[in-house]
Structure 1
Amino acid sequence: MNPLSHLMPELEAGLAALGLPAQPLAARLLDYLALLDRWNRTYNLTAIRDPREMLSKHLLDSLSMWPHVRDGKLADLGTGPGLPGIPLALARPGLQVTLVESNGKKTRFLREVVRQLGLANVRVLESRAEAVDEPGAYDQITARAMDTLAGILEVGGHLLAPGGRLLAMKGQRPDAEIAALPPGWRVETVQPLAVPGLEGDRHLVTVTRGPAEAA
């Protein structure tokens, strides 16, 4: 019995609001959340302590970008405890996710999640993003709480294949960051995201190689 099973109705409602099928996804997400809650008491993997708060601020927030993610290879840079990479891997089995994290206790947790949940479409790399020697290997990279757009591209842009995209989750529309993009990169779209149970602005900024254009 999952110790967080009392959160199931709230999670199922959130998934429905995002246009995702509730089962078996909700049960798999709750298994991940229970592991995160247990490990977090010892290893301080996330500052959020309350599992109900984790449900909205971690799980549903991560999944709010799912319609914009394509199947293929995705590198989640500075993933921390696996956000958004693990929820996305659970929601999109056709996605091959590489979780990039330099913190050893977090990568130990990630490997345990992969093992316990049997995530064949997830691999864990204990590394800083700039040190990952896989140039052009990914269709998409993402970073949920890592840096400015220019900063993410500086450490992870080399990982993108031609035509690859950075999917960056932001709060308010980051116009100053967009204006500061390095040469050779352009914004493809800026999309507002609605996260069930969360107030405040959320945006997904999609960046690809090419001459600058108005977003």
Structure 2
Amino acid sequence: MSEPAADVVEHDDRSVEILGAGFDGAATFARMLAAEGELRGLIGPRELPRLWRRHVVNSAAVVPFLPAEGALVDVGSGAGLPGVVVALVRPDLEVHLVEPMQRRVAWLTEVVDRLELTNVTIHGARAEELHGTLVAEAVTARAVAALDKLARWTLPMVRMGGALLAMKGARAAEEVAKARTVMRTFGVTDVQVHDVDLYDDGDVTRVVEVRR
């Protein structure tokens, strides 16, 4: 595998603090994405300069809201964001990557093998196809769908007492308002929108925590 001319990884103290023991694996993952992500349709060319902070490290925004133990399902894993990063940072969790597109499943398989992620299982399926068979303490999703659709796809996989953690942008609160009726049908007890600024630079990621 050819490496990009410039290293995309930033070895700053804050990145190391955020990723912890998962830093080296995340660095390898970022370099794999930089080398092949655009060619394989996983990331756009404009994302390469900000791949490390905006995509790889940003995936760790959900980590403070993860369960202390158990299983996690990452829906629409795509390039592996945030599922692969979560698996690296929290090797104690059983992580399930759900992705229906075969070429992305092939990519995820290569990543999991390269990083030797023994806590990861890949499911080549749509989320709805796994209802009734896959249940976890938490479900994550990043740039998958509007929250009302996402709720229908993911909440049947959230164990009672668990949570959907959806990574969203500036319109997170608006999406929550539109999805309230759908969420009530799945026994949602609480919804919170967390503003996460990992680098204290004003670049905020909103993590919508939907708890059953």
**Same structural fold, with TM-score higher than 0.5 when normalized by the shorter chain:** yes
3-state SS in 1 of match to 2:190: strand
Q: Distance in 2 between matches of 1:176 and 1:42?
A: 34
Gaps of 5+ in 2: none
Deviates more, 1:160-169 or 1:127-136: 127-136
* CA gap 1:41/1:153 in 2 versus in 1, 3 angstroms: closer
8 Å contact 1:98–1:122 — kept in the other structure? Answer: yes
8 Å contact 1:56–1:197 — kept in the other structure? Answer: no
Matched to 1:102, the amino acid is P
The alignment status of 1:92 with 2:95, answered yes or no, reads: no
TM-score by structure 1 length? 0.84
* C-alpha distance after superposition, 1:131-184 (max 9, x if no partner): 114446211111111122221111121111111210111112522222232223
Identity of aligned residues (%): 28
Q: 2:41 aligns with which of 33, 41, 44?
A: 44
Gaps of 5+ in 1: 210-215
3-state SS in 1 of match to 2:39: helix
Q: Map of 1:1-215 to 2, 5 A cutoff? A: 3=3, 6-8=7-9, 10-16=10-16, 18=18, 20-21=19-20, 24-48=21-45, 51-70=48-67, 71-135=69-133, 137-172=135-170, 174-180=172-178, 181=180, 182=182, 183=184, 184-196=187-199, 199-209=202-212
* CA gap 1:160/1:75 in 2 versus in 1, 3 angstroms: same
Deviates more, 1:189-198 or 1:59-68: 189-198
3-state SS in 1 of match to 2:106: helix
Deviation of the 1:195 alpha carbon: 3.2
Matched to 2:82, the amino acid is P
Deviates more, 1:166-175 or 1:138-147: 166-175
Number of residues of Structure 1 aligned to a counterpart in Structure 2: 204
8 Å contact 1:89–1:121 — kept in the other structure? Answer: yes
Deviation of the 1:7 alpha carbon: 4.4
Deviates more, 1:198-207 or 1:140-149: 198-207
Q: Distance in 2 between matches of 1:75 and 1:45?
A: 20
Deviates more, 1:193-202 or 1:53-62: 193-202
Deviation of the 1:17 alpha carbon: 5.6
* CA gap 1:208/1:104 in 2 versus in 1, 3 angstroms: same
TM-score by structure 2 length? 0.85
Matched to 2:53, the amino acid is S
3-state SS in 2 of match to 1:42: coil
8 Å contact 1:101–1:107 — kept in the other structure? Answer: yes
Matched to 1:42, the amino acid is L
Moved over 6 A (4+): none
* CA gap 1:7/1:148 in 2 versus in 1, 3 angstroms: closer
Matched to 2:102, the amino acid is G
Deviation of the 1:66 alpha carbon: 1.2
